[in-house]
Chains A and B, each alone.
Chain A
Amino acid sequence: MIPENEFLITEENMYSGALSCRGCGWTLLARYVSSVMGPKTVYVVPACCFSIIAGPNPMNLLKGSVVHTVFAAAAATATGVRRALDRQGKTDANVVVLAGDGGTFDIGLQALSGAAARQENIVFICNNNGAYMNTGVQSSTGTPTGARTTTDPQGKKLPAKNLMGIIEAHNIPYSATASPAFLMDLKSKLEKAREASGFRFLMVDGPCPPGHKHDPDRSIELARLAVETNYFPLFETENGQFNITYTPKTQVPVSEYLKHQGRFANVMQDESNNGLQIIQQQVDQNWKHLSSKQNLN
């Protein structure tokens, strides 16, 4: 006896065998993206973990077309695909970018902004694991304060870029954050993104056991804690309307999220608690900002 709605993947459009680490958040995300988008989708992938995960020659992880492209210009390649398909009358096909935080926050930002400003009819999905994981954990501008990377061995001093703010400033029809722990929310946001037209953007929290230094079985638990601690709040902006999609029921201190991750070991072991306080302040400030934005509605 199967309660149908409990199984969120109705159509499995991802094969097993992915070259991803154990407990990879991104591969899980790919399952949901491919399931919601369907096989009539062209995925555009810049350099990132997914370039590897998607399959070395001659294999293809996804039931869908995949175009690997240069690091800096995923949104541009997606533009080309979209315009070509439109010209061929294949307007029902989805064009979806699957990029990491490097290909979104950093090197990919120009092309992303260009495509967003042109209102290209594509879905841009950023798996934000907060560092260049494919090359072995180097800092990106998406790397959060305190996180240790191989290029910030003492932990990053600066905060992560407010990418969602940048995205929102492009006045696109749909943008949202999502989490692999909150699958109903993720799925509904993917569906909204699929149904909207114009440039759509999703930033999804990307648990990464080797990069964040935690046991692979904790990936989902940590993604959930990221949301419950307001470290990674879930919200969306739909045609200008801002909406927090999940409000934690209890206040969980951010240390609950940080303590299981080796990347924050410096923060957690610091007896002065300075780093922890700064991070908690950032999180509180951001949540306050989001809440006040919500109240503007």
Chain B
Amino acid sequence: MVDISKLIEVRGHARGGQGMVTAFEILAKIFSYRYNYEVQAFPFFGVERTGAPIQAYLRISPEAILTRNYIYQPHLIVIFDEGLIDQTPVFDGLYEEGSLLINTENPPEFFKGKAKHIYTVPATRISVENKLGSKTLPIVNAAMVGAMLKILGADISEATEIIYEEVPAKPEANEKSAKTAFRQVQELTDEHYQPAQNGQTPPVSKEPEWDVPFWDKPMSINKTGNWRVIAPKYEELEAPCTDNCPAGTDVRKFVRLASEGKFEEAYEIIYQHNPFPAICGRVCPHFCQQNCNRIFLDEKVNIGAIERFIGDKNGQYPHQPETVENKEKIAVVGSGPAGLTAALRLRKMGYEVTVFEALPKAGGMMRSGIPAFRLPPDVLDKEIEKIERQGVKIITDKKVTIDELDEKFSAIITAVGSHIGSNLRIGNDELLIDGIEFLRDLNISGKKEQVKKGETVAVIGGGNTAIDVARTVLRLGTKPTIYYRRTRQEMPAIAEEVEEAIKEGVPIQFLTAPVRLKNKNGRHELILQKMELGEPDESGRRRPVPVEGSEYSVLTDKLIKAIGQWPDPFVFSGKEIEARQGRLNEVMADSKTPVFCAGDMAWGGTVVEAIGSGNEVGREVDAFLKGKEWKKPEKNREVATHDRINYRYYLPTPGNPTPVTTPGNLTNNFDEVASGLTQETILKEAGRCLHCGECFNCGNCLNYCPDAAIFIDDDFRLRIDYDYCKGCGICVRECPCSAIQYVEESSLAETEPKNELHQK
């Protein structure tokens, strides 16, 4: 406790706006009104502004105070803002036996050597808890009054009334703050304190350097960086498109490169995660697009079209064969997107990789499940050929099991996909055609006989297979109808595909589910039941609930089910093994080679998810072979979600949808329905990107910085000169895409760049 039986001189250091001057006045009043002391409280009379370092003084004495000058050798130094310690000589002149009070989260020990008596109080935390001040400037005065009362040995209960009356606003919060701080003061007395340590220097009145009254030195002599309590910094956030891409593609980056016309670089960015840009550009549901922040402004960026353009444009990209650097050999079962991606990743890591494919042609579901009018086979051929060119060996017509591969390889990856259609279980299942089989037969062997021209075909299901089947049989001259038990909103199929199917003339019956099937005079009688939507199920979609007594029947020539697919257990030699992503430990019991799993059989159900799965399994296998522990990488980057976007800085600009043709005569017309955009349109479309979370040099920060503290460096990057940034936060708030974040002062590097304008 500070001895107040004689004159006590206190010097305070704070920032303009933190309320120090008011705090000292309150203390003066407390000691005058309650203890009948003589008092003086006054600021250093300056013109400094909010945030700037300021000083104030307090004298309390049981006897008359016979001085009126500033205080140079205080008994007590009070620091309202810890940041000032590095910025101004706050410890100067303290008496040998003097005391120090600091607003800090640190314990008193942290400041050892600065004074004999050290007190600390977490005034900022207390003030923030009581909602006093703002993030950029907490008003800590009431808490500091409480702490000072404590160390001056006063009674807080005597003082609260004065605090209540004297604070300009929020009296209850201030009173509470003071009381809390009073209790939370920590103390340390350092008996070994050597005054010389704090570099006490007698105050020197500076001799003016200029004798003619004019003002000709640059203002930048005055470094306002020490006004800052919180620092803005250019720090990227994850883009929501990138964040939502199962393959992990840096979507924002390739879109930006495309907008700059750098299509080859854009291709390389995609290729880092996805060896099938031309395919994904066509058939991917584009999770990236679905998460596009532009939706909240006008319409999403047509990333699919951009990807397709980049893929097609780089059809002749000169991929080079990769060299083999490792002795381990890897087998991949299945040449779908997951298998080929995993194979390519491992090949690039220097492993010899062999892919086994049961069908006569590689491509997996991309080949067998997707009709040519959506994905022309030559596009697929080209992308697979590129993978082969890089050294991946593909053996087709080779259906293998892991038992056959055991011990011949160092690792086996199974990625056989889900090619077995689920059963409908409505009786007479043998009358049903399986959708996935139907598509495979048609795509691989050209087998069309299952349906005949003029027939009516009922298609059951709401996924992409159902839609693809319906559109395919339509082209074979039949009259398909889709029956789906929920509504269009819940359909798992890609919305655009549904749209196209309807346009082509495929009727869809919603809220209806098949219950029974009968053979009636060579035709099928399908009994259906009307449904309504109930509570959401675990997928988040509303569950279909049968409407009692609503059964009805339709007659149809053919019935195709497309309600889901399962992996073929053949690869595990018929063993019941639950397929999931990564290492399958249970297979180890009877096989010596470690087995991994990826693709549709493990998770997902789209090409891009399979690619993501392939990437991941590739990394896992590599880690395993190198004897490293492997953990699925966690996403921990903050995402620039739409609430962090300043839409006012973007002009609404109509999007450029992918042109889709609905041919007049569809019969036997398997031409691709969607066409690519022209280069000119792609440049425009890519230019619509909001650059969420990534600085795109829009210049808002530089344009709006009142302190000219932002500049462009030699590499044409925007930089903050922390010598001058006052931390007002305008750049953070006005950044269109949330590429500037508030960071702790301590996280700034000492080598932050400086604006040359001020370095003279």
Contacts and interface: CB of A to CB of B under 8 A. Distances in A.
A and B touch in the complex (CB under 8 A): yes
Interface of A: 1-3, 6-9, 12, 14-28, 31, 52, 55-61, 66, 180, 183, 209-210, 215-221, 224
B34 interface: no
A220 B716 contact: no
Given A17-B222, A52-B47, 6 more contacts: A15-B757, A17-B724, A22-B137, A58-B214, A180-B704, A209-B728
Contact of B217 (A1, A59, A210): A59
Closest 9 CB pairs of A and B: A217-B729, A16-B724, A22-B728, A17-B222, A21-B49, A23-B728, A216-B728, A28-B706, A15-B219
Contact of A59 (B137, B218, B721): B218
A211 to B, nearest CB: 10
A17 B219 contact: yes
A61 B218 CA distance: 6
Interface stretch (B484-492, B515-523, B707-715): B707-715
Contacts of B217: 58-60
Nearest to B702: A7
B134 A215 contact: yes
24 contacts: A1-B260, A6-B699, A8-B699, A8-B703, A12-B757, A14-B219, A15-B219, A15-B757, A15-B758, A16-B724, A16-B757, A17-B218, A17-B220, A17-B223, A19-B224, A20-B707, A21-B51, A22-B50, A28-B706, A52-B47, A215-B135, A215-B729, A220-B704, A221-B733
B45 interface: no
Q: Which one of A6, A16, A56, A209 has the highest number of Cβ atoms from chain B below 10 Å of its Cβ? A: A16
Q: Which one of B51, B52, B704, B757 has the highest number of Cβ atoms from chain A below 10 Å of its Cβ? A: B704
A22 B49 contact: yes
A19 B52 contact: yes
B632 interface: no
Interface in B197-242: 209-210, 213-224, 227
Nearest to A8: B703
B728 A219 contact: yes
A174 to B, nearest CB: 24
Nearest to A217: B729
A60 B727 CA distance: 22
Contacts of B222: 17, 19, 55, 59
B500 interface: no
Interface string B49-84: 111100000000000000000000000000000000
Interface string B127-142: 0000000111100000
B220 A15 contact: yes
B707 A18 contact: yes
Interface residues of B, number: 57
Interface string B688-710: 00000000011100111111110
Nearest to B727: A22
B397 interface: no
B734 interface: yes
B755 interface: yes
Given A23-B730, A31-B706, A58-B210, A18 B216 contact: no
A180 B734 CA distance: 12
A2 B712 contact: yes
A27 to B, nearest CB: 4
B216 A58 contact: yes
Q: Which one of B49, B50, B213, B709 has the highest number of Cβ atoms from chain A below 10 Å of its Cβ? A: B49
B726 A3 contact: no
B734 A9 contact: no
Contacts of A1: 260, 697, 716
Interface in B729-760: 729-730, 732-734, 755, 757-758
Contacts of A210: 17, 49-50
A183 to B, nearest CB: 6
B50 A183 contact: no
B757 A7 contact: no
Contacts of B16: 21
Q: Which one of B215, B705, B733 has the highest number of Cβ atoms from chain A below 10 Å of its Cβ? A: B215
Q: Which one of A3, A183, A220 has the highest number of Cβ atoms from chain B below 10 Å of its Cβ? A: A220
Contacts of B221: 17, 59
Q: Which one of B50, B698, B705 has the highest number of Cβ atoms from chain A below 10 Å of its Cβ? A: B50
A136 to B, nearest CB: 11
